[in-house]
Chain A
Amino acid sequence: MTSSLTVPPKPRSRVRTALIVAAFAAFTAATCIPAIGGIELDLGAIVRNWSNGSGLLAQFLQPDFAFLPRTIGPMLETLQMAVVGAALAAVVSVPLTLWAAAPTNPNAPTRVLVRTVINVVRSVPDLVYATVLVAMVGVGALPGLITLFLFDLGIIVKLVSEAIDATDLPIIEAGRAAGGTQTQINRRGVLPQTWPLFANQWLYTLELNVRISAILGIVGAGGIGRLLDERRAFYAYDDVAVIVLEILVVVVLIEIFSNLLRRRLV
């Protein structure tokens, strides 16, 4: 009495799944071949040298707070770099962002040009900028400042211009109908509507700057990173731990501060 059911075939792109898995496996394999530049997975080294690391890790987990006073000066320099870098980037980011977004710049060639330049600027990691700039202009806060400026600019322009592209801005049609120039429309129509987008990203870059400028010092670009690298070179990981904690605290404080500001902005 059991009738055999006609089950429709299960839609399964078996071939496609197999291809994807194969590609993934091949790529992974290729990354593990040292001969062409892959890395050598030396898990054994972890086992062998664990004691080296564990000693330092233990040191790291016992921060030496007596070291704190020596960090104040460099930390201040880090904060100064962060603030000035974010401020300069904020100012320059406004015209660049308006050039990079479609509603505010109907001229496609200039828009594509600005976007491409920004993408190139964003493709260089922050520490690379710092290294090259230190070699160019010397050690100190200046290469760090320029690095932060470029890094922030890339982020702000990309994120805000994409947000503007996605926003409805009916004031633009009204401004055009009234006979305004694009600049007038941008200044009095678009900017009032998009200040929160900008302010959001400016605060975000301020937070980022504090984190990054701490590291930039490792290559000589000023701030607390130099102290950090110096202490590390002496294997004084308890001092390193204090510095890391300090950075953490400052970053959290700035996050709280900027969250407060953000709520009042809208």
Chain B
Amino acid sequence: MSAVTAVPTALQVPRRPSRVVPTAVAVIVGAVVLAAAAGLPIPWSDLGSLPGQVAHYLGLMFAAPNWAMLPQALFETWRSISMAWIGAIGCVIVSIPLGMLAARSIGPIWLRLPLRGLFAVSRAVPEVIIALLLLTVTGLTPFTGALALAIAGIGTQAKWVYETVESVQEGASEAVRAAGGNTAEVTRWALWPAVAPTLLSFALYRFEINIRTSAVLGLVGAGGIGSMLANYTNFRQWDTVGMLLIVVVAATMLMDAVSGAIRRRIMRGPRAKAARAQREVRTDVARVS
């Protein structure tokens, strides 16, 4: 029964914890951002006209895209895709053995560390720089682009390789060794079947990444749709630029979807399931023991 009393009983509410630190941090972050913004040579006051400007150009590009140039655009798109594909193959061919050598269970430490250092350096240098460097050797051709993609990707790709190798269960490797196998045989019979699906999946992912990067390389002259885009943008031919953008978006989304679907099928396959199961057993055992 609720007794409605005339005098409110006072609540013993504990003190609220201090919020000084989070507030100070927020203020500092805000100040840094504002300072950065103020320092930029951007006419902030003029930004009001920006949406109008952008809308104007969007109209020029997409109101009536120049479909007459579509055949050439598709030709150049295939060029970019080829760049991406060959670059991916080159990258994967080099990074799988190198990555395996850099894995803990395979390569000796005097080999692992320098290799990993090499990969870190490769990761740090943007593809564009590599492409520019290669220009002098192989010229302004899509082949340069493919080479640049291959070389630039080695760092990340090899890292994925050795991470995958290291996460796979060691039981099978032990069994082969116990039967007298050397490292090469362990790799072929125990390691490879377990990591193959994941590596294949990463290879396809490299292809997906390369497709985007190939357009970028085209902008600096390696050919493909990026070059076409750069040219027509420089000539301010907005209706063609609009058409090219549509082609780029459509091609990228299509390739992403197809590649993504294939990757999912690979990872769902029997070997991949076994590899996943192995990893799960390993973590279970690790948790218990």
Contacts and interface: CB of A to CB of B under 8 A. Distances in A.
Interface string A106-122: 00000000000001100
Given A39-B142, A83-B32, A219-B219, A141 B85 contact: no
A218 B128 contact: yes
Interface in A35-74: 36-42, 45-46, 49-50, 52-53, 56-57, 60
B76 A37 contact: yes
A83 B241 CA distance: 30
Contact of A125 (B32, B137, B215): B215
A215 B141 contact: no
A60 B78 CA distance: 33
A123 B124 CA distance: 23
A128 B129 contact: no
Given A39-B141, A42-B141, A128-B226, A79 B36 contact: yes
Nearest to B78: A37
A132 B216 contact: no
A56 B32 CA distance: 39
Contacts of A49: 136-139
A50 B134 CA distance: 10
Interface string B111-143: 000000000000011101100111011110111
B36 A80 contact: yes
Given A128-B248, A240-B129, A52 B136 contact: yes
Interface in A11-46: 27-28, 30-32, 36-42, 45-46
Nearest to B245: A124
28 contacts: A28-B85, A37-B75, A37-B79, A37-B82, A39-B82, A39-B86, A39-B143, A39-B223, A41-B143, A45-B143, A46-B138, A53-B134, A53-B136, A76-B39, A77-B40, A123-B248, A125-B213, A127-B219, A132-B229, A132-B245, A135-B234, A135-B236, A214-B126, A215-B128, A218-B220, A219-B230, A228-B129, A240-B129
Interface of B: 32-33, 36-37, 39-42, 50, 53-54, 57, 74-79, 81-83, 85-86, 89, 124-126, 128-129, 132-134, 136-139, 141-143, 145-146, 212-213, 215-216, 219-220, 223, 226, 229-230, 233-234, 236, 241, 245, 248-249, 252-253, 256
Given A37-B75, A123-B253, 17 more contacts: A30-B82, A37-B77, A38-B79, A39-B141, A39-B143, A40-B142, A50-B137, A83-B32, A84-B37, A119-B253, A125-B216, A127-B219, A135-B233, A136-B57, A140-B42, A141-B41, A145-B40
